[in-house]
């Protein structure tokens, strides 16, 4: 299986930089995680894949804000993978957003078997296990498109969020545990009140490259879609992740540092 990955890393991360004076000028992919950077965690996960279903890997990191700094850092530590064509870059003079970035790279995507996108500021533990689950679902359970979701308690009053509504589900056994996969029935925006729980998309998506996906990517109106409208066009399923991190403010960053130090050792 040929795996094509986009790590979305081009954003300004204004909310995080404004909440933490020390890193006010630092792009989010380069924020320190002890002796590494945030982008290292994703690249390490991907470059360490050992699943027998993955025959080849190509990664694109899209860059806009502080593009040269991020490019220089990755080039310094991953030169071997860049020379082999495993790690690549898409420079965006104007910020494109998810859909137009995908459109720019669609010739590579359509020449792959599996397309995986993730947001640089989102992180889940035990990534290897979840990837094995994804491959099991996509290869053996007739599911073509899968997103990761998680329940979150809202800390702001009356804010509008994108809701995911689920219906049919099925389970399968993975390492003696039952894994539940739910079909996404609808996606819509709605206001949520303080302390309510909501199921959120957490920035990880997997798509099998098939006729349905090809037709959507090659359609005339694809570039005019937003990302949620794109998801609505797919026969979409979800896997609920019990715990994840999205680093949007300094509190999220400090929580993640604590988790990384005590529960999740990479290096």
Chain centre to alpha carbon of residue 61: 12
| Angle (nearest 5°) at CA 89 between 86 and 90 | 135
What is the reported pLDDT for 267? 41
> Per-domain residue ranges for the chain?
2-263
CATH homologous superfamily, domain 2-263 = Spore Coat Polysaccharide Biosynthesis Protein SpsA; Chain A (3.90.550.10)
pTM of this prediction exceeds 0.85? yes
Supply the DSSP symbol for 105. T
What does 157-222 look like in DSSP terms, one character per residue?
SSEEEEEEEEEEEEEEEETTEEEEEEEEEEEEEEEE-TT-EEEEEEEEEEEE-SHHHHHHHTSTTG
Whole-number average pLDDT of the chain: 89
- Residue 118: pLDDT band (50, 70, 90) is very high
Least confident of 55-64, 121-130, 202-211: 121-130
Q: Residues 162-181: pLDDT tens digits?
A: 888 898 889 988 888 899 99
| Angle (nearest 5°) at CA 84 between 83 and 90 | 70
Q: Which residues of 78-117 are buried (b: 16+ CB within 10 A; e: fewer)?
A: beebbeeebbbbbebeeebbbbbbbbbbeeebeebbbbbb
Q: Residues 213-242: pLDDT tens digits?
A: 999 999 999 999 999 999 999 999 999 998
Is the Cβ–Cβ distance between 109 and 3 less than 8 Å? no
Q: Residues 85-97: pLDDT tens digits?
A: 999 999 999 999 9
d(CA 200, CA 247): 15
What is the reported pLDDT for 194? 62
């Amino acid at each position: 299986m040929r795996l094509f990955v986009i790590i979305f890393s081009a954003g300004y991360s204004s909310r995080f930089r404004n909440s933490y004076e020390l890193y006010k000028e630092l792009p989010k992919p380069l924020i320190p995680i002890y002796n590494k950077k945030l982008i290292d965690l994703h690249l390490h996960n991907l470059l360490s894949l050992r699943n027998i279903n993955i025959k080849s890997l190509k990664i694109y990191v899209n860059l806009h804000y502080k593009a040269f700094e991020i490019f220089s850092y990755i080039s310094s530590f991953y030169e071997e993978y860049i020379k082999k064509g495993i790690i690549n870059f898409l420079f965006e003079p104007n910020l494109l957003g998810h859909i137009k970035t995908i459109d720019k790279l669609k010739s590579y995507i359509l020449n792959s078997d599996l397309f995986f996108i993730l947001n640089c500021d989102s992180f889940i533990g035990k990534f290897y296990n979840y990837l094995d689950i994804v491959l099991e679902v996509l290869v053996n359970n007739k599911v073509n498109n899968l997103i990761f979701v998680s329940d979150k308690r809202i800390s702001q009053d009356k804010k509008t969020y994108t809701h995911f509504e689920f219906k049919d589900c099925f389970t399968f056994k993975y390492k003696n545990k039952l894994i539940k996969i739910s079909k996404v029935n609808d996606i819509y925006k709605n206001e949520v009140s303080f302390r309510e729980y909501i199921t959120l998309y957490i920035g990880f998506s997997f798509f099998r490259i098939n006729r349905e996906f090809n037709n959507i990517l090659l359609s005339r109106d694809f570039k005019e879609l937003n990302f949620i409208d794109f998801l609505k066009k797919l026969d979409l399923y979800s896997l609920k992740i019990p715990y994840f991190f999205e680093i949007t403010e300094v509190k999220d960053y400090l929580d993640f540092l604590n988790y990384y130090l005590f529960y999740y050792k990479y290096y």
